[in-house]
Amino acid sequence: MTGEALSQPTSTRALLEQLAEGDPDGSMSLAELLDRFSERAFGLFLLLVVLPCLIPVPAGQGTVCGAFIILIGGQLLLRVPHPWLPGPLARHMVRRRTLIQFRNRMDRWLERLERLTKPRALLLLDHPAAHVFTGLVLIALGVLIALPLPLTNVPFGLLLLVYAIALIERDGLLMLVAWALGLVEIAVVAGFSGQITAWALALFR
């Protein structure tokens, strides 16, 4: 069943509430989740990818999250209408408990954001050039988050959360803010590239 056949949540919080309903020990495949949310699917996909950055998880998740973000960015760049997932990834099970933890942790902040966001400036979401630019920025951020940089997961995660909410809420003005923040973060990392290289080399000594 596709998202067109289901009632669509009107906000990120409502979407999380719907996904968190049911047995906390249950799980859903990633493909099943994305199929339920048609035009919001890329935002949902990005939201699920961001979860490990904002919830304590074993080390090494940055590389996996980065690969997923690059996948999302590449598909936006190519204007793929719905997220495509390779077989093993499509069958990957998302634990409902993880969604509940994220909802509980971020609910207050999402409530505040909800007051500020709404569907608007859709040209900044749907125009081909907007797809290309969003895709390129996400690819760059995916590469950066995959690097073993200290103390970067939460800042990158919060930034990517803004992208996810902009896509879910269909808020072009929020996407404009996300573009600006993304470019600033890329520029900051590039400015400290020498120090970052030294950290990376130290890890392999």
Per-residue pLDDT tens digits for 52-68:
777 655 555 677 888 88
Average pLDDT over residues 113-120: 85
Q: Which long-range contacts (CB under 8 A, 24 or more apart) does 194-198 make?
A: 196/147, 196/149
Q: Which of 53-67, 123-137, 138-152 has the highest mean pLDDT?
A: 123-137
pTM beyond 0.85: the answer is no
* CA 110 to centroid of chain Cα atoms: 14
Report whether pLDDT(181) > 60.
yes
DSSP 10: S
- For residue 122 the two structure tokens come to 């859709």
Report whether pLDDT(24) > 90.
no
